[in-house]
Amino acid sequence: MLKSKILVVDDNEDIRILVKKILDPSYLVETVSTAEECLEKAWEYKPNLIILDIMLEDASGYELCSQLKSNDDLKHTPVIFLSAKTGSNSRITGYKLGAVHYLEKPFEPEELREIVNTVLKNLKIDSQLEVVDYNDITLNIPSQEVSIRGDKIHFTSSEFKIIHLLLKNAQRVLSREKILNHIAPGNERVNDRMIDTYISSIRRKIKQSSFAIKSVYGEGYKIVTL
């Protein structure tokens, strides 16, 4: 079985060594220390996942993420931010730029390992399967159909994108901004209040399932198993 390729971008050598040690030998891990090296290596290496520091010596990790996402060959490559910058504003900025996760330093090795495992597992599922089962909720990706305990339930396109995003990130809190950016990137007509409306509708539609959407005050939403 081919191992997934991971590119680690951090100007701290100790962090690069640590992350490589955590993820070896399960994955093929390459490390670089600058934004310039990252761009060159990413286009050459075509990683399945990029772990990116925010405060690099030669550029902001935020700017680097935007550059990566603007490239057709790399725009779908998931990015995990790994940073000493704390607080919801930093996380929200990261999610707005398309990051799939934001992990603050210092971090637990096992947490990083599990996040990477989950991201790459979901990536593999999405690329290989058109129909994905999450316990008693089944999603048909091409047709955007949802079945709960075998019964088809009508979801709008935006609701489908939200439930898919939540299920792929089960137990993890997703900010309103991340959800908003996922369903309508750059669309200023969609706002936080509309996200709340979508969530309320989805909650009603999944009542018969083994899942529930929980509100996390000041942070966003997460889907949990009952």
pLDDT tier at 137 (50, 70, 90 boundaries)? very high
Residue 186, pLDDT score: 60
Q: 74 with 34, same domain?
A: yes
98 closest CA partner among 210, 180, 9, 221: 180
pLDDT tier at 126 (50, 70, 90 boundaries)? low
Q: Could you give the maximum distance between any two Cα atoms of the chain, in Å?
A: 54
- Percent share of the chain, pLDDT over 70: 94
Residue range 98-110: average pLDDT?
90
Q: 11 with 108, same domain?
A: yes
Q: 116 with 141, same domain?
A: no
Q: Are 145 and 153 in contact (CB under 8 A)?
A: no
Domain that holds residue 168: 130-225
Q: How far apart are CA 96 and CA 185, in angstroms?
A: 9
Q: 19 with 62, same domain?
A: yes
Domain harbouring 168, CATH code: 1.10.10.10
Q: 43 with 101, same domain?
A: yes
Q: 9 with 82, same domain?
A: yes
Strand partners, 6: 29, 49
From 81, 109, 125, give the residue that closes a domain. Answer: 125
Domain harbouring 64, CATH code: 3.40.50.2300
Q: 114 with 10, same domain?
A: yes
**46-56 per-position pLDDT tens digit:** 899 999 999 99
What pTM does this model have?
A: 0.57
Q: 43 with 104, same domain?
A: yes
Split into its structural domains, the chain has a count of 2
From 125, 145, 162, give the residue that closes a domain. Answer: 125
Q: 178 with 156, same domain?
A: yes
Q: 156 with 90, same domain?
A: no
Residue 81, pLDDT score: 94
From 91, 125, 159, give the residue that closes a domain. Answer: 125
Let me know how long the chain is: 226
Q: What is the Cα 122 distance to its own chain's centre?
A: 9
Q: 96 with 138, same domain?
A: no
pLDDT tier at 185 (50, 70, 90 boundaries)? low
